């Protein structure tokens, strides 16, 4: 998707560089030291404008959160939101993570959030989906014992694919629904911008919580 130009983008990004981690591959194993207090560490891949991440960070002040977003104009909005809310337990990787092992030591993360990831609908692009088994196994390595992956999507085909990939590699689905907001599951309480918009339109949100069997 073509990025919309943002006025004074470079200057605004530079003013908020304290929220950006540009050397993530050099500090694996020490992420918690970047925060005022150590705590469970959570990653959102494709954090967009940061509303979901900010809400989690506010609700869980003893945990630390990292948002990954490769589009500079979008991560700028996320950093501006964190700054406006004066949130201290959230940082951002302004890039796309392709290999988890390049950024995180085994067991360093407590959870991974995947929200409305690109479905890559063509079969030949299946390996690019963030719930392809190659990615899922990468998350597993970075997660601690008892760690989880939470996945939300409005795309039924991608949801089916995700469940099939989890089954193929022996991951347990502890929670699953094809209409999250008609359940009492805790995951319905914190929403992304997409999720809020789709909910108002009456579009069902698929959700699952994945345990990696560590």
For the record, the structure tokens of 24 come out as 């993530």
Contact 87, 57 (CB under 8 A): yes
d(CA 103, CA 110): 14
Query: How many Cβ atoms from other residues are within 10 Å of residue 188's Cβ?
Result: 18
The reply to whether 118 belongs to the active site is yes
Give the residue carrying structure tokens 């479905």.
119
**What is the residue-wise DSSP string for 61-126?**
TTSEEEEE---HHHHHHHHHHHHHHT-SSEEEE-S--S-GGGT--TT-EEEEEEES-----SGGGG
17, 83, 102, 118: the catalytic one is 118
Which residues form the catalytic set?
A: 118
């Amino acid at each position: 998707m073509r990025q919309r130009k943002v006025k004074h983008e470079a200057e605004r990004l530079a003013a908020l560089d304290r929220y950006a981690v540009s050397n993530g591959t050099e500090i694996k194993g020490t992420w918690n030291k970047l925060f005022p207090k150590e705590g469970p560490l959570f990653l959102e891949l494709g954090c967009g404008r940061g509303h979901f991440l900010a809400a989690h960070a506010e609700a869980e002040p003893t945990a630390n959160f990292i948002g990954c977003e490769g589009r500079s104009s979008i991560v700028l909005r996320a950093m501006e939101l964190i700054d406006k809310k004066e949130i201290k337990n959230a940082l951002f990787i302004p890039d796309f993570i392709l290999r988890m092992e390049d950024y995180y030591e085994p067991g360093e993360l407590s959870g991974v959030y995947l929200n409305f990831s690109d479905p890559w609908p063509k079969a030949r692009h299946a390996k690019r989906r963030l719930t392809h088994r190659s990615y899922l196994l990468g998350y597993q390595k970075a997660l601690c014992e008892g760690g989880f992956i939470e996945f939300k999507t409005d795309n039924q085909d991608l949801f089916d694919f995700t469940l099939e990939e989890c089954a193929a590699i022996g991951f347990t689905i502890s929670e699953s629904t094809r209409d999250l907001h008609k359940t009492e599951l805790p995951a319905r309480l914190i929403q992304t911008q997409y999720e809020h918009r789709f909910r108002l339109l009456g579009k069902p949100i698929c959700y699952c919580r994945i345990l990696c069997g560590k």
